[in-house]
A and B are shown apart, each in its own frame.
Chain A
Amino acid sequence: MAYELNGETIECDEEGYLSNINEWTKELAVLLAKDEKIELTPEHWEVIDFLREYYEEYQIAPAIRVLVKAMKKKYGKEKGSNKYLYELFPYGPAKQACKVGGLPKPTGCI
Chain B
Amino acid sequence: MTDLEKQVSEDQDVEDVEEQLELPDPLEIPAIVVDAMVDLHSFEAAPAHQTDLGFPGELVDDWQERAIAKIGDLRKKYRSFRVYLDSCVKCGACTDKCHYFLGSADPKNMPVARQDLLRSVYRRYYTIPGKIAPWLVGARDLTEEVLGEWYNYFHQCSQCRRCSVYCPYGIDTAEISMAAREIMDDVGKGQKYCNEIIAKLHKVGNNLGMPPKALEATLADFEEELEDDFGIEIKMPLDVEGADILLITPSADFFADPHIEGLMGYAKVFHNAGVSWTMSSYASEAANFGMFIGSYDNMRKVSRRIRKAAKDLKVKRIVFGECGHAWRVGYAFLNTLAGPWDFLDQNYPIPQHICEFTFDEIEKGAITFDKSRNDDKVMTFHDSCNVARATRMGSNPGGQFDYPRALLKASCNHFHDMPEDTIGEATVCCGGGAGILTDDLMDIRVKGAAPRMKALRQVTEEEGVTHMAAICAICKSQFTKILPKYDFDMEAIQSVHQIVSNAIVLEGATVPEDD
Contacts and interface: CB of A to CB of B under 8 A. Distances in A.
Interface of A: 13-15, 57-60, 62-66, 69, 82, 95, 104, 106-110
Contact of A106 (B208, B218, B250): B208
Contacts of A69: 221, 225
A14 B440 contact: yes
Contacts of B477: 109-110
Contacts of B260: 63, 65
Contacts of A57: 213
Contacts of B473: 109-110
Given A107-B208, A109-B287, A58 B217 contact: yes
Contacts of A82: 257
B61 to A, nearest CB: 24
Report the 10 A-B pairs with minimum CB-CB distance, sorted nearest first: A108-B207, A58-B214, A109-B473, A109-B252, A110-B256, A63-B255, A108-B208, A109-B474, A60-B214, A14-B43
Interface size class of B (residues with CB under 8 A): 35 or more
A63 B197 contact: no
A71 to B, nearest CB: 13
A14 B218 CA distance: 30
Contact of B254 (A59, A63, A95, A107): A63
A104 B192 CA distance: 14
Contact of B213 (A14, A58, A62): A58
A64 B208 CA distance: 13
Interface of B: 43, 46, 192-193, 196-197, 200, 206-211, 213-214, 217-218, 221-222, 225, 250-252, 254-257, 260, 287, 323, 437, 439-440, 473-474, 477
A108 B213 CA distance: 18
Contacts, number: 78
Q: Which residue of A14, A59, A63 has the most chain B CB atoms within 10 A of its CB atom?
A: A63
B252 A108 contact: yes
Say whether chain B's binding surface is mostly helix, strand, loop, or mixed. Answer: helix
A108 B198 CA distance: 9
Given A58-B214, A60-B211, A110-B252, 6 more contacts: A66-B218, A106-B208, A107-B208, A108-B197, A108-B207, A110-B208
B202 to A, nearest CB: 13
B252 A60 contact: no
B197 A59 contact: no
B252 A65 contact: no
6 contacts: A13-B46, A58-B217, A66-B221, A107-B200, A109-B287, A110-B208
Nearest to B476: A109
Nearest to A72: B515
A60 B437 contact: no
Contact of B209 (A14, A15, A107): A107
Contact of B251 (A58, A59, A108): A108
A97 to B, nearest CB: 14
Nearest to B200: A107
Contacts of B217: 58
Nearest to A110: B256
Contacts of B256: 63-64, 109-110
Nearest to A65: B260
Contact of B211 (A58, A64, A95): A58
A107 B211 contact: no
A95 B257 CA distance: 14
Given A64-B257, A69-B225, A109 B214 contact: no
A66 B192 CA distance: 28
Contacts of B218: 62-63, 66
A82 B323 CA distance: 24
A108 B255 contact: yes
A60 to B, nearest CB: 5
Nearest to A70: B221
